[in-house]
Amino acid sequence: MVSFEGPSHPEGGRGPGPRVRWRARGAVAAVASVVLLAPVTAIAGHMGGWTHDHSSAGVPYRPHGYNDIVRVFGQPCGPNMQGAHVWWPHINAPWDGGYQGHHPYIVRNIVHNIRSHISAAHNEGAWYYGQYGGVCKQRTGGSGYSLHAFGAAVDTNTARNPYGQCSWNGVGVNGVAYGTYLPNVWRESEAGHNFRWGRDWCDPHHFQYATGW
Amino acid sequence: MNRTQKIAIISPILVGLIGAAVFFGFVRARSSAVGCAEEPAVAIAGLDSAVARGQGMAAIVGNKIVLLDAVGDRTAYAPPISGNGVLRHVASAAGVGTAYVVDKEGPDTLVSVGSRGISEISGEGEITHPTLSGSGDLVWAEDFQTLKLSPQGSQPARTIARPQGSTAVFSPLFTGANELIAVVQEPVENDTGEDDSLNNLFRYDIESDTWTRLTTFQGTSENWSVVRTPVVARDGLVYFLRLRGVASEARPPSFELWSLRDDVASKVRDLPKEMYLAGVSSAGLLWNVHDGTEWRLFQEKGKGLFDLGCGAVMVDPRAQPDPDIPREDPASNRRSARQGKDAPNSSAGLVDAEMAIKVGDFSTRQEAEAVAERLGLPGLELITHRVAPYAIAPGKWGVVQRLPADADLTLVIEEFHRRFPEYSNRSWIVSLSGGTPSG
């Protein structure tokens, strides 16, 4: 058995050390915030060692309509709703990290094309709490389940982007205004990662890997 | 059609009545059929049709309105107005007419068909849950934010604000000459608002414009409790569903049948599966159950459920995609060009995503090593946050087994859970990328 070990990731902890280090990197983040106005692909240009995974496994087929969603993701509130998980630095509050569960079908896309993309671009300060993944819930007033119940949707930066707000507040955990940098990485318009952005129906923190539901 | 003809007609929702068989056990469906046979429309649902007379229970099957008579015989009609939308939510009232929603990309349309005319009401947003009263009033929910009341089909409709402090309102129902009940969503802590966590029933007095709470269900973002599909029988007894679930648990919520009489809510029984009320007939409750492909109607009779065939009443279409969320993001017209520029960085199959199964999290290395021993699989590794920051929390240990680049991650984790059920709540697919290599 091979074993890896070492101290916690410097950006991952909640103590004063990491916070100070993060603030010390403010200048880097500020520069990055200027870059946010440039196309995502330009940012990707200085991410040595990291590349997109736009293969069919990295960006798989995105289902359309309820029956197609069930065919791809299985029944809602099923065991795969949280069959994969990812650790994020800000889940419940700034620097209050935790796991977000997802369906395994989209975890390559979430980790490699989105989380790693933003990390490699040194833009992790763009994230903000709270974040949610797979949860078993019904849609408001509906006779059916939310896409979160399939593990096919992600909410991020909800504290600054509540449901019902029809615009995106891109101020990240470091106080820098990133504009629509984060949504552009998630969605299909820029990086091709194919998540559908809920801002179109005034749910700006919501990104879903399906349409027609 | 002139303006006079466009006056809406309306009336009390479902057919018959009677009451309320209260059962304590559910039963089987008479038919196990899946899918819907094509039902040719006999006519357009015009002013002289049974649809305009509300003659039978109305249901939606694809792009048609189907009327079911007292013995379950079906007649299909083409809707007089449908545009390019999806038909959703229908109500009928004997002697008055039928109302249905045309769900479109953007604001929806509400259509009512009665002996006095066909009315087309353009909403300002999502229209849901139309209901007809016996005196010709029409009420519906708009964007889940307000109710709209159109007395005798008059326009403009009166806006009814939801109860103070609430966050949504839907499923209105006439329960008297001057009153409605509706399902009201209430705020809970740490709720994102896009999904339901807590609902209660409220009564609305039309004359005094006041709301009164009828139920006092409690719920949180994690342990949620919502109300669905209230229906009223002729004797005034209201039936509704209460759904309860645990957000973080991968198991379906419970479905319960409740009743409300004299403002007292009481549980009638547990339901065996996901099912929604469709109405009350002289024989008993009517249900909508999804068969995996289509919504079907069932008549509860005695201790049995009898299949009436395809049809949806107050349930959302599943066979047709929601037109409000089309495939393409309206702002995505640059996608093709951008993807072309990304191509040098995105060659299919060249990226090793370093996917793995993780069992965790453990507070000490010793715990992780002990679990690795018990698993007894080849190639197991121990990880920490430094080497796999996306896979494990700081200060914790995990046991991982790397997966082939072409692994079907869904099948892999399902198989792992089958093989090691004792770890099914402690194992996930993770990515080992993003860390600092270390020996």
pLDDT of res. B331: 60
Q: Do A163 and B329 touch (CB under 8 A)?
A: no
Q: Is A135 part of the contact surface with chain B (CB cutoff 8 Å)?
A: yes
Distance separating alpha carbons of residues B194 and A145, to the nearest angstrom: 11
What is the SS3 assignment for A148-163?
HHHCCEEECCHHHCCC
Q: Are B387 and A10 in contact (CB under 8 A)?
A: no
Q: Do A143 and B288 touch (CB under 8 A)?
A: yes
Q: Do B329 and A79 touch (CB under 8 A)?
A: no
- Pick from B278, B198, B267: which is nearest to B232 by CA? B278
**Enclosing H/E stretch for B61:** strand B57-61
Query: Residues A68-87: what's their mean pLDDT?
Result: 96
Q: How many inter-chain contacts (A to B, CB under 8 Å) are there?
A: 311
Interface of A with B in 43-62 (CB under 8 A): 44, 51-58, 62
**Hey, how many other C-beta atoms are within 10 angstroms of the C-beta on A16?**
8
Search chain B and give the residue with CA nearest A98.
Answer: B393
Query: Each residue's pLDDT tens digit in chain B (439 positions)?
Result: 333 333 333 233 333 322 223 333 344 333 345 678 889 999 899 999 999 999 999 999 999 999 999 888 999 999 999 888 999 999 999 999 999 999 999 999 999 999 779 999 999 999 999 999 988 899 999 999 999 999 987 788 999 999 999 999 999 999 998 999 999 999 999 888 789 999 999 999 999 999 999 999 999 999 999 999 999 998 999 999 999 999 999 999 999 999 999 999 999 999 999 999 999 998 999 999 999 999 999 999 988 999 999 999 999 999 999 999 998 776 654 443 334 333 334 333 334 558 999 999 999 999 999 999 999 999 999 999 999 999 999 999 999 999 998 899 999 999 999 999 999 999 999 999 887 655 3
**Hey, how many other C-beta atoms are within 10 angstroms of the C-beta on A119?**
20
Is the complex ipTM more than 0.85? yes
Distance separating alpha carbons of residues A29 and A31, to the nearest angstrom: 5
pLDDT of res. A53: 84
Distance separating alpha carbons of residues B33 and B307, to the nearest angstrom: 9
pLDDT of res. B150: 94
**Enclosing H/E stretch for B321:** none
Q: How far does the CA of residue A134 sit from the closest CA of chain B (Å)?
A: 8
Which DSSP category does A106 fall into? G
Distance separating alpha carbons of residues B18 and B281, to the nearest angstrom: 7
Q: Are A196 and A187 in contact (CB under 8 A)?
A: yes
Torsion of CA B171, B172, B175, B179, to 10 degrees: 160
Q: How far does the CA of residue B350 sit from the closest CA of chain A (Å)?
A: 8
**Hey, how many other C-beta atoms are within 10 angstroms of the C-beta on A18?**
18
Say which amino acid occupies B148.
Answer: K
pLDDT of res. B332: 56
Q: Is A159 part of the contact surface with chain B (CB cutoff 8 Å)?
A: no
> Among A62, A148, A212, whose Cβ lies nearest the Cβ of B322?
A212
Which chain A residues have a beta carbon less than 8 Å from that of B334?
A: 189-190
pLDDT level of residue A187 (50, 70, 90 thresholds): confident
Q: How far does the CA of residue B153 sit from the closest CA of chain A (Å)?
A: 25
pLDDT level of residue A54 (50, 70, 90 thresholds): confident
Interface of A with B in 85-104 (CB under 8 A): 85-87, 92, 97-99, 101, 103-104
Per-residue pLDDT at A48 exceeds 90: no
**Residues, chain B, total?**
439
pLDDT level of residue A123 (50, 70, 90 thresholds): very high
pLDDT of res. B152: 81
Which chain A residues have a beta carbon less than 8 Å from that of B330?
A: 200
How does strand B179-185 pair with strand B199-205? antiparallel
Q: Is B183 part of the contact surface with chain A (CB cutoff 8 Å)?
A: yes
Distance separating alpha carbons of residues B11 and B137, to the nearest angstrom: 7
> Among A143, A188, A206, whose Cβ lies nearest the Cβ of B316?
A143
pLDDT of res. B29: 38
pLDDT of res. B421: 97
Q: Do B413 and A9 touch (CB under 8 A)?
A: no
Distance separating alpha carbons of residues B87 and B6, to the nearest angstrom: 20
A29-40 tens-digit pLDDT: 333 333 333 333
Q: Where are the alpha helices (DSSP H) in chain A?
A: 16-24, 26-35, 40-44, 66-73, 107-108, 116-120, 181-186
Rg of the Cα atoms in chain A:
17
